[in-house]
Amino acid sequence: MGPTPLHVNPIFEIGPVEPTFSEWLVFEGISVDESGRQHFLDATVAYKRAVLNAIDYLHKFGYSKEQAYLLLSCCPCEGRISGIVDAPNAVATLAIPTAIFDQDIRPKAAGKVPVGPRVVRKPDVLKCSYDGNLPTTKNPGSS
């Protein structure tokens, strides 16, 4: 397995995981950072660019960039190193299942992005209307 008992290379097979998705929207990133600097075969920069491309795309549908970031951190997305043979560029992809959205997020004709949920930025929306009276239930098994 390894040169010492502390150096182990585990191999495992995952079983079927539900739910399974059949349609994915895939975002690509290459190893060129935001300033245009090329990072030689750096898959980390490539993956970061793929995630940022996904966040920018989801922002067009009304999600704030923070909401898109949180969504990507907990949705069943798949990240892959897609190519490191095209030196000097590494390529990474991020696939997001389309079924997790309540709207169609697939690309449309130019300028035809559907409007999705919007973050309301009115000051009065943030006011709380909680009056302190929450319904409570008593556990019949407790004393």
Q: How confident is the model at residue 132 (pLDDT cuts 50, 70, 90)?
A: low
Number of domains in the chain: 1
Residue 129 has pLDDT above 50, yes or no: no
Does any domain span residue 60?
yes
The residue type of 40 is F
pTM above 0.75, yes or no: no
**Alpha-carbon distance values, 19 to 48, 67, 97 (Å):** 26, 23, 11
* Per-residue pLDDT tens over the stretch 49-100: 999 999 999 998 888 999 999 999 999 999 999 887 778 889 999 999 998 8
Is residue 57 in some structural domain?
yes
CATH no. for residue 90?
A: 3.10.28
Give domain status of residue 14, yes or no: no
Bridge partners, 92 (sequence order): 29, 81
Domain containing residue 47: 24-97
Q: Is residue 104 part of a domain?
A: no
